[in-house]
Chain A
Amino acid sequence: MRLPLLFTVLAAPAFAGVPEVVSDHIQPGFAQFAQATQALAEAAGADCTAIEAPYQSAFDAWMGVSHLAFGPLEQGGRNLAVSFWPDTRGMVPKTVAKLIADEDAAALDPAAFAEVSVAGRGLYALETVLQEPYAQGSYTCTYAAAVADDLARVAREVQADWQAYGALLLDAGAEGNATYLSEKEAATAIYTALMTGLEFTSDTRIGRPLGTFDRPRPKRAEAWRSGRSLRNVTLSLQALRDLARALAGGEIPVTEAAFADALSVAADLDDPIFAGVADPMGRLRVEILQQRVDLVRDAVAGEIGTPLGLAAGFNSADGD
Chain B
Amino acid sequence: MRRRHFLSALLASASLPALSWADAGNPAFLAAAREENGGYALFGLDNGGADLFRIPLPGRGHAAAAHPTAPEAVAFARRPGTFALVIDCVSGGVLHRLDAPEGRHFYGHGAFLEGGNLLVTTENDIDSGQGVLGLWARDAGYRRIGEIASGGIGPHELLRLPGDVIAVANGGILTHPDRGRDKLNLDTMRPNLSYVTVANGIEEVVELDAELHHASIRHLAYADGQVGFAMQWQGDLPDPAPLLGLHRKGGHPVLCSADLAEQMAMDGYAGSIAMAGGRVAITSPRGGRVHLFDTAGEFLQAVPRRDVCGVASAGAGFVVTDGLGGVLALDEGLSPLVSAPRAWDNHLVRLGG
- A262-309 at interface with B (beta carbon < 8 Å): none
Partner of A1 from the list B48, B259, B260, B262 (CB cut-off 8 Å) is: B48
Q: Is the CB of A178 within 8 A of B306?
A: no
Nearest residue (CB) in B for A80 is B261
| B239 neighbours in A (Cβ, 8 Å) | 88-89, 91
B237 lies within 8 A of chain A by Cβ: yes
Residue among A173, A181, A182, A188 facing the most chain B CB atoms (10 A cut-off): A181
A313-B323 contact, Cβ under 8 Å, with A70-B288, A74-B304, A75-B304: yes
Question: Tally of A-B residue pairs with Cβ under 8 A?
Answer: 109
Please determine whether B237 and A319 come into contact, CB atoms closer than 8 angstroms: no
Whether, in the assembled complex, B134 has its beta carbon less than 8 Å from a beta carbon of chain A, the answer is no
A319's partner among B286, B341, B343 (CB-CB below 8 A) is B286
- Shortest C-beta distance, B1 to chain A (Å), equals 34
Check B306–A319 contact: CB distance below 8 A.
Answer: no
> A138 at the A/B interface (Cβ < 8 Å)?
no
Min distance, Cβ B164 to any Cβ of chain A, angstroms: 26
Structural contact, B79 and A320, CB atoms closer than 8 A: yes
B309 within 8 Å of A (CB atoms): yes
How far apart sit A181 and B327, CA to CA, in the bound complex (Å)?
A: 10
Q: Is B117 an interface residue when CB atoms closer than 8 A count as contact?
A: no
Task: Judge whether A314 and B343 touch: CB under 8 Å.
Answer: yes
A181 close to B326 (CB less than 8 A): yes
Chain B positions within 8 Å of A3 at CB level: 336, 338-339
Check B341–A7 contact: CB distance below 8 A: yes
Q: Is B334 an interface residue (CB 8 A)?
A: yes
Interface residue A77 (Cβ < 8 Å from any Cβ of B): yes
Q: Specify the chain B residue showing the minimal Cβ separation from A10.
A: B341
B140 at the interface (CB under 8 A from A): no
Instruction: Tell me whether A320 and B108 are in contact (CB under 8 A).
Output: yes
How far, in whole Å, are A77 and B166 apart by their CA atoms in the complex?
A: 38
| Residue B335 at the chain A interface, CB threshold 8 Å | yes
**Nearest-CB residue, chain A, relative to B270:** A319
Q: Is B264 an interface residue (CB 8 A)?
A: yes
A residues in contact with B304, CB < 8 Å: 70, 74-75
Q: Which of B48, B261, B323, B333 contacts A315 (CB 8 A)?
A: B323
B344 to chain A: closest CB distance in Å? Answer: 8
Residues of B contacting A315 with CB < 8 Å?
271, 285, 307-309, 322-323, 343-346
Query: Could you say which residues of chain A place their CB within 8 Å of the CB of B269?
Result: 319
User: Complex Cα distance A189/B304, Å?
Assistant: 12
State the CA gap A119–B308 with chains docked (Å).
27
Asked if B238 is at the interface (CB within 8 A of a chain A CB), the reply is yes
Which residues 195-231 of B have a CB within 8 angstroms of A?
218
Contact A316 B261 (CB under 8 A): no
- Interface set, chain B 311-353, CB cutoff 8 A to A: 322-326, 328, 333-341, 343-346
Chain B residues within an 8 Å CB radius of A185: 306, 324, 326, 339
Decide: A320 and B62 in contact? CB cutoff 8 A: yes
Question: Which of the residues A1, A77, A91, A316 comes within 8 Å of B307, measured between beta carbons?
Answer: A316
Q: Which of A1, A89, A117, A314 contacts B337 (CB 8 A)?
A: A1
Residues of chain B contacted by A91 (CB below 8 angstroms): 239
Please determine whether A320 and B346 come into contact, CB atoms closer than 8 angstroms.
yes
Does A81 reach chain B (CB closer than 8 Å)? yes
Chain B residues bordering chain A, tally (CB within 8 A): 51
Report the minimum CB–CB distance from B265 to chain A (whole Å).
Answer: 7
* Residues of B close to A70: CB separation below 8 A: 288, 304, 306
B279 interface contact, C-beta 8 A: no
Q: List the A residue with the shortest CB-CB distance to B321.
A: A315
Nearest neighbor of A316 in chain B, beta-carbon distance: B285
In the assembled complex, which residues on chain A have CB atoms less than 8 Å from the CB atom of B98?
Answer: none
Q: Cβ of A74 and Cβ of B336 under 8 Å apart?
A: no
31-55 of chain B: CB within 8 A of chain A: 34, 48-50
In the complex, what distance in Å separates the CA atom of A316 from the CA atom of B324?
11
Give complex CA distance A298, B299 in Å: 40
The reply to whether B339 and A182 contact each other, CB–CB distance below 8 Å, is yes
A181 & B323 in contact (Cβ 8 Å cutoff): no
CB distance from A303 to the nearest CB of B (A): 20
On whether the beta carbons of B260 and A319 are closer than 8 Å, the reply is no
Q: Which residues of B contact A192 (CB under 8 A)?
A: 306
Q: Is A118 an interface residue (CB 8 A)?
A: yes
B127: Cβ under 8 A from any A Cβ: no
| Closest Cβ–Cβ distance, residue A118 to chain B (whole Å) | 5
Nearest B residue to A1, CB-CB: B48
The CA of A270 and the CA of B89, in the complex, are separated in Å by 64
Contact string against B for A residues 49-70, beta-carbon threshold 8 Å, 1 for contact and 0 otherwise:
0000000000000000000001
Contact at A80–B264, with CB atoms within 8 Å? yes
A88 touches B236 (CB 8 A): yes
Interface string of A5-36 (1 = CB under 8 A from B): 00100100000000000000000000000000
Given A313-B323, A319-B309, A77–B334 Cβ distance below 8 Å?
no
Looking at the assembled complex, report how far the CB atom of B169 sits from the nearest CB atom of chain A, in whole angstroms.
12
> Considering the complex of A and B, which 3 residue pairs feature the smallest CB-CB distances, nearest first?
A77-B261, A314-B323, A315-B285
Q: Would you mind naming 18 contact pairs between A and B with Cβ atoms under 8 Å apart?
A: A74-B265, A76-B261, A77-B260, A118-B260, A178-B333, A178-B335, A178-B336, A181-B339, A185-B324, A313-B323, A315-B323, A315-B344, A315-B346, A316-B286, A319-B232, A319-B269, A320-B108, A320-B156
